[in-house]
A and B are shown apart, each in its own frame.
Chain A
């Protein structure tokens, strides 16, 4: 299994509170991604990073920000959590090379916003 950990694994927070989720990899992969998974929607890309301090928005980036100060860590911040951000969040990594960039996923963080 790819060396990807996410913390915390479960979190309950209140509306309006800032929340930071952490993804840590030991594979030295260049690309890192944050997705959210909701019933009936599959996985939707929030933000991704293509190197240290290089990030870009995905399809559902409103209300989220990211940072990557080291190759191994990619942080997702909910600036002011809302109930619509209750979801399961997955981090993924991939690497450059020939062929497609298959992604490897972490175990997920279940976030509940009350």
Chain B
């Protein structure tokens, strides 16, 4: 069964600092991976996705993530945090086989940005 582990339920950074949100996956077949962002009282919004075309994936709002098969990781980064990045972030995985319509989500990481 697939699973996703997000290390750190809460990450706090200063405005302008590097953002690093960690995601490790467990999948028996090559995965597709996603990062979603959720702002307060809203639904989830797709930030970026990995589909095996390129290991470094660029998303919206200056975020990017790198797929590392050897580390089974798909960490999310942004060089310089902005106050508007404060939100909860979810990593999700599906397999590249026949049942890739179902996502398995991590428990989420709440990002706080301090002025």
Contact = CB atoms under 8 A, between A and B. Distances in A.
A and B form one complex = yes
A58 B105 CA distance: 13
Interface in B1-34: 9, 32, 34
B94 A101 contact: yes
A4 B49 CA distance: 21
Nearest to B36: A105
A90 interface: yes
Q: Which of B51, B90, B105 has the most CB of A within 10 A?
A: B105
Nearest to A6: B43
B14 to A, nearest CB: 25
Interface in A23-71: 31, 40-45, 48, 50, 58
Categorize the interface residue count of chain B. Answer: 20 to 34
B105 A102 contact: no
Contacts of B90: 42-43
A60 to B, nearest CB: 12
B114 interface: no
Interface stretch (B60-68, B72-80, B96-104): B96-104
A103 B94 CA distance: 11
Contacts of A101: 94, 100-101
B94 A105 contact: no
B45 interface: yes
B56 interface: no
A42 B49 contact: no
B42 interface: yes
Contacts of A48: 101-102
B44 A105 contact: yes
Nearest to B51: A99
Interface of B: 9, 32, 34, 36, 41-46, 49, 51, 90, 94, 96, 100-103, 105-108
